[in-house]
Structure 1
Amino acid sequence: HLQFLVGNILTLDFSDNMFHLTHVQHVLRHVADSIRTLNETHCVIKPGGVVAHDAHIINKTLCPEAAG
């Protein structure tokens, strides 16, 4: 069963430990707080689950070497 929803990734309306997998693509480069975004997606993942995201992130916190 697949369902697409529109919402705020920083205030996900799902119970903790609800999903085995989240997929975040073309999102992290557009949010002001990548760490908070990943933390929120991690909350809804069951223990042993996976947060999958694209790696195109230019963020000093996630990628210090990108700071120059």
Structure 2
Amino acid sequence: MESSEENNQGLEQMLESLIKMVGKTNQKMDNLQTRVTQLEWLIKEQLRPGDRSRIKICHGILNERRGNLLKDL
């Protein structure tokens, strides 16, 4: 049977691994949000003033894709 100290070390290692995984996931989310924001800005810049109604359509598509990407994380 494992000693209490070995159990504590195992739990500590698992906790450290979990913290690293959460940190990496948060970084991926931040990067994804930055990319989506940049893409939204580019779309708005390319549309003519009378074409603003397309922004809503593009925004809906981006939100849908963002949701799909978040599922993959």
Q: Is TM more than 0.5 here?
A: no
Relative contact order (C-alpha < 8 Å, sep 6+): which is higher? 1
Decide which structure has the larger Cα Rg and report it: 2
Q: How high is the TM-score relative to the length of structure 2?
A: 0.30
Q: Which has the higher strand share?
A: 1
Q: TM-score, normalised by structure 1?
A: 0.32
